[in-house]
């Protein structure tokens, strides 16, 4: 697995926390593994929960209209890049 | 009834019927309003281009395309199948169950490769045919078959006849919409294929003073954006899950300028907390009406959740209180339906909901049967023993949990994959707890306290 950056670990902790992902620790989330579908197996309910947590913690809003949001939800890595770029 | 016909739309043909937030190839050349006349032109144009067939799996994502497709199918005397989800496996199963079936979609969905399919975005629909009156549909035409959002693949079909949908819509309009002479502009966050979305975002615009936006926004920011695009007065059709993300995601920010005024919010699919209802009313400065219904019957009752715990049963729908539960009957419904909820009668028109029967679970508005999900687990080859349950008092939305013992060489991941293939994603247990042995009592029973003991003492992340 690729090595997590400190920002990725921070976002991974948020995911594990809000989604009650008990089968995996924040440290174990592979930055390049797919979040939805076969990877972590998240679904659309999780997507709303994640969007809510991100808006509360970082003040960043997800928008499905933006291609960038769809791409952001691909992996931990892309989600982290999206959050920290939008926040800045 | 046998020879009666009912208009496809009861709207004044010059009314604003829909509001397009996008340019839809083959449909419009600019964003904005579509009149009821233009809508009829789109429908008849598509109807002429549809292939022969009996059943049509309507997968359209764009709400306006769905609506045009839905009505064109009916004009061709065909029947819409409204799939409970868009999975390829569901398409294949429906096509195997229903005669002479094809798929109608708008491009943005995975399509089963060996079923006949028509992509609406490949077609050009004429917008300029004029009508003096709306075309009519035979009252007894089977317009659609919807499917109860069950936990497993075998969801139950519900036949929806044209006259019954029309009568339901008239009843819904009377109870859902405050008396209002001007056209309400609606954004809906729910899919048109589900009964709640069908009644509100398809049938209200077809027959009543509602202009429907073509979009289905998902994230809070999208919902607000699409509401702001619409002229006033506005209405929002949504679910507790979307409402929560809206209200909680924005309340700490001082953004009163981006919050659109919404005159009416309709919310259904799972129980809404009064505190969330109050926050939503404050957020949108409008009235929130919560609606109670089920796939078989449709909407049945309404309440102003911020103030009331008691539900007002719709006129023309009757609750028959019987020992095994409440049976719903109505003149316009072919069959009676036994409700899965515990209901306490106040008087003929009012009742209180006392929760679901033990077997029924509700995860973010998706309803499923614990018995069925447990049967899925028991059908897994690698299982020695196990059960699925719904832990109480979880933070957030709550998910199912499973405790299992597995045969040698079988992993937790195998169980998870098996669930993903056989149940809706929302019902895949999380966590799945693997133990050496389930501490069953001599009778073979597992007590609630034993289950909760294992659950609360589970090792986090093994």
pTM of the model: 0.83
According to CATH, the superfamily of the domain at A6-87 is ACP-like (1.10.1200.10)
Pairing, β B311-313 against β B350-356 = antiparallel
pLDDT at A67: 67
Q: How far apart are CA B23 and CA B45, in angstroms?
A: 18
- Assess contact for B280 and B309: CB atoms under 8 A: no
Mean local confidence (pLDDT), B401-423 = 90
| Ramachandran class of A74: left when φ > 0, alpha when ψ lies in -120 to 50, beta otherwise | alpha
Q: Rounded to whole angstroms, what are the CA distances from B282 to B108, B243, B262, B276?
A: 36, 12, 10, 10
Residues of B with CB under 8 A from a CB of A: 217-222, 225, 241-242, 244-245, 248-250, 252-253, 363-364, 394-397, 399, 412, 416, 420, 425-426, 428, 430-432, 458, 460-462
B321 shares a domain with B442:
no
pLDDT at B462: 37
Kindly report the nearest CA distance between residue B414 and chain A, in angstroms. 12
C-alpha span between B386 and A34 (Å, rounded): 29
CATH at residue B394: 3.30.300.30
Question: Is residue B284 included in any domain, yes or no?
Answer: yes
B446 within a domain of the structure (yes/no): yes
- Tell me, yes or no, whether B55 lies in a domain: yes
B101 and B72 in a common domain: yes
Of B184 and B449, the one with more pLDDT = B184
Express as a percent the part of chain A with pLDDT over 90: 27
pLDDT in tens, A54-67: 988 998 888 776 66
pLDDT-above-90 percentage for chain B: 64
Q: What is the tally of structural domains in chain B?
A: 2
Does one domain contain both B77 and B118?
Answer: yes
Which residues of chain B does A24 touch, with a Cβ-Cβ cutoff of 8 Å?
Answer: 461
Could you tell me if B285 and B391 lie in one domain? no
Residue among B230, B238, B190, B226 at smallest CA distance from B210: B230
**Is the complex ipTM higher than 0.90?**
no
* B454, burial (CB in 10 Å: exposed 0-12, middle 13-18, buried 19+): middle
Longest dimension (CA), chain B: 76
User: Which residues in chain A have Cβ-Cβ distances shorter than 8 Å to B245?
Assistant: 48-49, 51-52
Whether the Cβ atoms of residue B214 and residue B22 lie closer than 8 Å to each other: yes
Query: Where is the domain boundary, B338, B356, B374?
Result: B356
In this model, does residue B39 exceed pLDDT 50? yes
| Domain ranges across chain A | 6-87
Q: Which of B61, B191, B194, B221 to mutate to test the interface with A (most CBs of A within 10 A)?
A: B221
> Closest residue of A to B425, CA-based?
A43
Q: Are residues B375 and B351 in the same domain?
A: no
Quick one: pLDDT at residue B43?
A: 98
- Look at the alpha carbons of A56, A61, A67, A68 in this order and tell me if their dihedral is positive or negative: negative
The Cα of B347 is separated from the nearest Cα of chain A by a number of Å equal to 37
Is B45 a residue whose pLDDT tops 60? yes
Please give the residue range of the domain that contains residue B230: 5-356
**DSSP-assigned states of every residue in B414-434:** HHHHHHHHHB-GGGS-SSEEE
Which residues have CB under 8 Å from B233's CB, separation 6+?
Answer: B180, B182, B184, B185, B263, B264
Residue pLDDT, tens place only, B325-341 = 899 999 999 899 999 88
Q: Are residues B161 and B307 in the same domain?
A: yes
């Amino acid at each position: 697995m690729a090595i997590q950056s400190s920002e990725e670990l921070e976002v991974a902790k948020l995911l594990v926390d809000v989604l009650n992902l008990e089968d995996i620790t924040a440290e174990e989330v592979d930055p390049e593994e797919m979040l939805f579908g076969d990877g972590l197996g998240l679904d659309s309910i999780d997507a709303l929960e994640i969007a809510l947590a991100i808006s509360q913690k970082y003040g960043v809003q997800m928008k499905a209209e933006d291609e960038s949001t769809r791409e952001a939800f691909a992996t931990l890595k892309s989600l982290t890049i999206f959050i920290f770029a939008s926040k800045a | 009834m046998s020879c009666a016909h009912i208009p496809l739309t009861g709207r004044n043909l010059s009314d604003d019927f829909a509001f397009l937030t996008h340019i839809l190839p083959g449909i419009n050349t600019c964003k904005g309003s579509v009149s009821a006349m233009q809508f009829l032109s789109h429908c008849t144009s598509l109807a002429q281009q549809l292939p022969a067939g009996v059943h049509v799996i309507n997968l359209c994502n764009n709400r306006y395309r769905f609506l045009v497709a839905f009505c064109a199918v009916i004009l061709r005397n065909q029947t819409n199948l409204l799939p409970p989800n868009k999975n390829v496996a569901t398409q294949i199963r429906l096509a195997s169950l229903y005669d002479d079936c094809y798929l109608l979609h708008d491009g943005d969905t995975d399509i089963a490769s060996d079923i006949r399919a028509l992509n609406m975005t490949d077609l050009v629909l004429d917008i300029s045919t004029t009508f003096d009156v709306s075309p009519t549909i035979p009252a007894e035409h089977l317009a659609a078959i919807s499917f109860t959002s069950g936990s497993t693949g075998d969801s139950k079909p519900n036949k929806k006849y044209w006259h019954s949908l029309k009568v339901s819509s008239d009843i819904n309009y009377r109870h859902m919409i405050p008396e209002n002479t001007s056209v309400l502009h609606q954004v809906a966050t729910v899919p048109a294929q589900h009964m709640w979305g069908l009644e509100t975002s398809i049938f209200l615009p077809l027959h009543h003073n509602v202009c429907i936006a073509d979009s289905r926004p998902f994230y809070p920011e999208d919902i607000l954006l699409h509401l702001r695009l619409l002229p006033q007065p506005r209405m929002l059709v949504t679910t507790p899950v979307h409402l929560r993300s809206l209200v909680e995601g924005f309340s700490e920010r001082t953004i009163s300028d981006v919050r659109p005024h919404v005159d009416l919010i309709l919310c259904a699919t799972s129980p809404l907390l009064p505190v969330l209802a109050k926050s939503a009313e404050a957020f949108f400065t409008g009235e929130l009406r919560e609606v109670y219904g089920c796939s078989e019957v449709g909407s049945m009752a309404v309440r102003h959740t911020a103030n009331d715990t008691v539900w007002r049963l719709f006129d023309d729908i009757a609750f028959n209180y019987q020992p095994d539960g409440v049976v719903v009957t109505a003149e316009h419904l072919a069959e009676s339906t036994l409700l899965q909820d515990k209901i306490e009668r106040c008087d003929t028109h009012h009742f209180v909901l006392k929760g679901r029967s033990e077997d029924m679970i509700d995860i973010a508005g998706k309803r499923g049967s614990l018995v069925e999900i447990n049967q899925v687990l028991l059908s897994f080859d690698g299982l020695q023993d196990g059960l699925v349950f719904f832990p109480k008092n979880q933070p957030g939305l709550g998910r199912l949990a499973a405790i299992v013992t597995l045969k040698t060489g079988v992993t937790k991941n195998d169980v998870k994959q098996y669930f993903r293939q056989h149940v809706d994603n929302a019902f895949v247990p999380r966590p799945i707890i693997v133990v050496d042995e389930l501490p069953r009592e001599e009778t073979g029973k597992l007590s609630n306290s034993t289950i909760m003991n294992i659950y609360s003492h589970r090792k986090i992340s093994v």
